[in-house]
């Protein structure tokens, strides 16, 4: 049954791959910085102690965009390790530049499908938390099946996150926020932290340029925090 569920997750993509063109600086970052901070995808559980050179807690961020907020979190929390997943190469290149600029040692990057990574690279109960900020909302009803937050996805997170670890999601689509809340509430592995389901943006999540633009247009943002039980 689990194999059938994982097969479905692999077949229905939650993202559209738009590679875009790398700037000369981003290409240089791939050539010079990626070999140290990038991880080439291959099945097999990652050894975080070897990967980061320490036993600090590891937080996984799925879909970090251009990486500015992830870089800021890593800079503010040097005793926490961050593993970022992003398939958009210009975004990866931008984060690599930030890693060099800010001299960050606590970030590693995988440019691959997050479902494959969760299935094949993350050992059980090895993560202290998972962050999912502003995923593609797939707002048309016929596309809702493409939303990454589904029961099978929560199963993977529940397997990967340590007891008392967290899942933190944020979206600027109210319908998607309600969808996430419903899926998480139904899952036996998680407990929502706020009585009404949503929390104010915590200081631990930097506000992004994308979010600032949305706020100027009157868009709301919904944060959901759940604990692994």
What CA–CA distance (Å, rounded) separates 138 from 127?
A: 27
Active site residue 47: no
Alpha carbon distance 200, 18 (integer Å): 32
153 in Cβ contact with 190 (< 8 Å): no
Query: Can you give the length of the chain in residues?
Result: 229
Tell me which of 68, 136, 152, 155 is the catalytic residue: 136
Measuring CA to CA, which residue among 133, 77, 135, 127 is closest to residue 228? 127
Q: Give 213-219 contacts, CB < 8 A, sequence gap 24+.
A: 214/172, 219/172
Name the residues annotated as catalytic: 136
């Amino acid at each position: 049954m689990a194999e059938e569920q994982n097969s479905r997750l692999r077949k229905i993509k939650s993202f559209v791959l738009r590679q875009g063109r790398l700037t000369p600086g981003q290409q240089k970052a791939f050539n010079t910085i990626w070999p140290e901070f990038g991880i080439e995808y291959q099945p097999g559980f990652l050894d975080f102690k070897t990967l980061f050179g320490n036993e600090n807690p590891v937080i996984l961020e799925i879909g970090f965009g251009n990486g500015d907020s992830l870089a800021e979190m890593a800079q503010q929390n040097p005793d926490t390790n961050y593993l970022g997943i992003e398939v958009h190469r210009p975004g990866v290149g931008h984060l690599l530049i930030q890693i060099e600029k800010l001299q960050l040692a606590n970030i590693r990057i995988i440019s691959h499908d997050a479902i494959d990574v969760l299935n094949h690279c993350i050992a059980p109960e090895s993560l202290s938390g998972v962050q999912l900020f502003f995923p593609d909302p797939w707002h048309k009803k016929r596309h809702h099946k493409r939303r990454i937050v589904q029961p099978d996805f929560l199963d993977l997170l529940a397997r990967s996150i340590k007891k008392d670890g967290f899942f933190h999601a944020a979206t600027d689509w109210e319908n998607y926020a309600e969808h996430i809340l419903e899926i998480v509430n139904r899952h036996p592995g998680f407990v929502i932290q706020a009585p009404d389901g949503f929390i104010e943006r915590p200081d631990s999540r930097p506000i992004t340029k994308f979010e600032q633009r949305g706020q100027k247009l009157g868009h709301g943002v919904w944060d959901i925090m759940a604990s692994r039980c």
